[in-house]
Each structure stands twice: as C-alpha cells, then as structure tokens.
C-alpha cells in the first residue's frame, strides 16, 4: 500500500511538470498549428542557462532564474521570427521537420557549450524531507508541484481574463476573424512561442532541481510530453493539465509494477503504448476538438 502511495506521489510530481511543459506545447499548437518537437531542448537549454548564471557567475538563484526567463522569452520570439514565420503556409512535413532541425541544432549548442557530463544542480529547495501521512516526502517535490499548480492557475486566469489571453484564444479559434477584429496575429504567434519557451524552461529548472543534477537526457522529457498532449487533446489547455498528471502516475505505476516482470524500461515505453491505444480509440484525446473535414 505504501509502495502504491509512493508511486502515485512520484507520478503526481513528475506529472505536474509534464503538465507545465504540455501547456507550452498546447499554446503553440492552438495558435500556430505547429507541433513543437524542440520543446525538450527548450527545457534543457533553460536549465543549463540558469545553472551557468547561478554557479559560474555567482548570481543569487532568484536573479539567475528571472534572467533565464527573459533569455528564453527572447529566444522564443527569435525562433518564431527567424524560423517559423517563413514556414507559414508550408505543408505539415515542413513544420515538423523544421522543429526537428531546431531540436538537433539546440542539442548541439548545449553539448558544445556545456559538454555531456552530469552536472550537479544547486539545491533550490530545502533538502530535509517532511512527513506526509505515512510517507516521508522530499520538500523539493512539494515545492515543485505547488509552483506548477500556481503557474497553471495563473495561465488559466491569463487566458480567461487578460486582453492578450483573449486575443490568443480568438486567434486559435479563427485567424481570419481575429485579423478582422484588429488582433495582430503575428504578435500572437510571437507571444505563443515565448510563453512556450518560458514555461518549458521553468519545467526544466524544476526538474533539474528535483533530480539534483542536469545532463542531456533531460531533452527526452520533451518527447514524452507528446503522449500527454495526445491524451489530453492537442488543443485543450485543461487536457494538458489532466493528461500530464494521469500520464505521470501511469508511467510510475508501470515502472513500479511491470519493471520487475520485463526487466526494466517499462517506465519509458508505457506512455508510448498508451499513445498507440489512444490514437486507435479516441484520436482527438479527452478534451480535444474533433476536426470535421468538408470539401
């Protein structure tokens, strides 16, 4: 029983980070119809930049964090302006391939600048575990999940009430109508990419903080977010949140109970098996909008 609770708890912690990164995915997909395969590299780059600022330049963590966010926001805007804008109107294969090319490029930059060794990440959370019912829980888990919850709440409110958020939803609904209402679709695209880059970087920093170390394997997290967004529905922000937690719990349960049977690795493959099942049964996910095509 305690084992089960521990697995579920771990699942919620990693799932909450999935939700955050999935939010970035969904924001880009909703407004620009691009599936961003470079999301994992955004996470990794954000975490490395934050690490360098905090450790090599001896900045206080909060300052380093804010500077990282600013850097990522600029990077998101530049990506949209330089790489994605020339792709408007191109077929899906070009859109997918350009983000794959971007992911290869960013991976190489990170590897060239920071190398491939595992680097210790500063303790951004208190290390002593707290007792939660029967389970000892590391405080990093609690802080990470709490900050994700706060961020997700802020974004939900942002999309519901602010001018920019409403403009983004309008653009996602119909670009032509949004344009005729005086919304600058180009600005919305740039905003979407910078939001996605920033939330992934936050996810990357939290994940590196929870794990206590940072290396290139963090980018794989970005690919595992794909089953999450497919489960939740590619264009649903609520779906991203629910999907993230469900997938996090599910992969930890698979890891805990199936690994002894199959000899390891179940945690990595389980989300992809679920992905095939979802695609065969309910391809538009739990909350996604079903597309009907008419000629």
Partner 1 sequence: MRCGDFRQSYAEDMAIFESPLPRWLLAALLAVLLAIPFFTGTYWLDVLNRIFIAIIAAMGLNIVTGFTGLISLGTAAFMAVGGYTTAALAGKAGLPFVVVIPVSGVVTALVGLVFGIPSLRLKGLYLAVATLAAHYIVEFTASHWDHMTGGVNGISIPAAKAGSLVLGSDREVYLLILAILVGLLFFAKNLFRTKVGKAFVAIRDQDISAEVMGVDVFRYKLLSFAVSSFYIGVAGSLLAYQARLISPENFPITLAIDYLGMVIIGGLGSILGSIFGAIFVTLLPEMLRLVTDAVGNHWPGMMTIVAPLKTGVFGLVVILFLIFEPDGMAARWHHIKTYWKLYPFSY
Judged by the rule CB under 8 A, the positions of this chain that interact with partner 1 are 35, 83, 86-87, 90-94, 96-98, 100-109, 111-112, 115, 223, 226-227, 230, 234, 262-265, 268-269, 272-273, 275-276, 279-280, 283, 293, 295
β 130-132/119-120 pair status = unpaired
Q: Whole-number minimum distance, CB 125 to partner 1, in Å? A: 31
Minimum CB distance to partner 1, residue 237 (Å):
18
**Residue 255 to residue 259: CA distance in whole angstroms:** 5
Q: Residue 209 CB, nearest distance to partner 1 (Å)?
A: 25
CB of 249 to partner 1, least distance (A): 19
Of the pair 222, 248, the CB lying nearest partner 1 is at 222
Per the DSSP assignment, residues forming a β-bridge with 116 are: none
Residue closer to partner 1 by CB (options 127, 295) is 295
Three-state DSSP at 282 gives coil
Residue in the block written with tokens 């990693």 = 14
- Cβ distance to partner 1 smaller for residue 34 or 183: 34
Q: Which residues of 100-129 are buried (b: 16+ CB within 10 A; e: fewer)?
A: eebbeebbeebeeebeeeebebeebbeeee
CB of 207 to partner 1, least distance (A): 20
Least Cα distance to 241 among 62, 12, 7, 1 occurs for 12
Q: Between residues 248 and 288, which has the closer beta carbon with respect to partner 1? A: 288
């Amino acid at each position: 029983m305690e084992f089960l609770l521990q697995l579920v708890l771990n699942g919620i912690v990693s799932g909450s980070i999935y939700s955050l990164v999935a939010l970035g995915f969904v924001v880009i997909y909703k407004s620009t119809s691009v599936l961003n395969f470079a999301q994992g590299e955004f996470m990794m780059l954000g975490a490395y930049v934050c690490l360098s600022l905090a450790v090599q330049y001896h900045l206080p963590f909060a300052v380093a964090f804010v500077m990282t966010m600013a850097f990522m926001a600029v990077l998101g805007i530049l990506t949209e302006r330089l790489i994605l804008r020339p792709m408007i109107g191109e077929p899906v294969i070009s859109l997918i391939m350009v983000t794959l090319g971007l992911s290869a490029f960013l991976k190489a930059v990170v590897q060239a600048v920071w190398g491939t060794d595992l680097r210790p990440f500063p303790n951004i959370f208190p290390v002593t575990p707290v007792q939660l019912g029967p389970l000892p829980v590391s405080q990093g888990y609690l802080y990470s999940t709490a900050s994700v919850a706060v961020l997700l709440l802020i974004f939900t409110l942002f999309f519901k009430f602010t001018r920019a958020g409403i403009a983004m939803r309008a653009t996602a609904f119909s670009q032509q109508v949004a344009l005729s209402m005086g919304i600058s679709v180009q600005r919305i695209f740039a905003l979407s990419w910078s939001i996605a880059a920033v939330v992934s970087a936050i996810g990357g920093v939290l994940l590196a903080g929870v794990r206590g170390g940072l290396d290139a394997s963090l980018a794989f997290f970005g690919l595992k977010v794909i089953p999450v967004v497919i489960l939740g529905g590619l264009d649903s922000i609520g779906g991203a949140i629910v999907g993230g937690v469900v997938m996090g719990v599910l992969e930890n349960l698979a890891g805990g109970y199936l690994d002894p049977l199959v000899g390891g690795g179940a945690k990595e493959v389980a989300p992809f098996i679920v992905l095939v099942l979802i695609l065969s049964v309910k391809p538009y996910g739990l909350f996604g909008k079903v597309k009907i095509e008419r000629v």
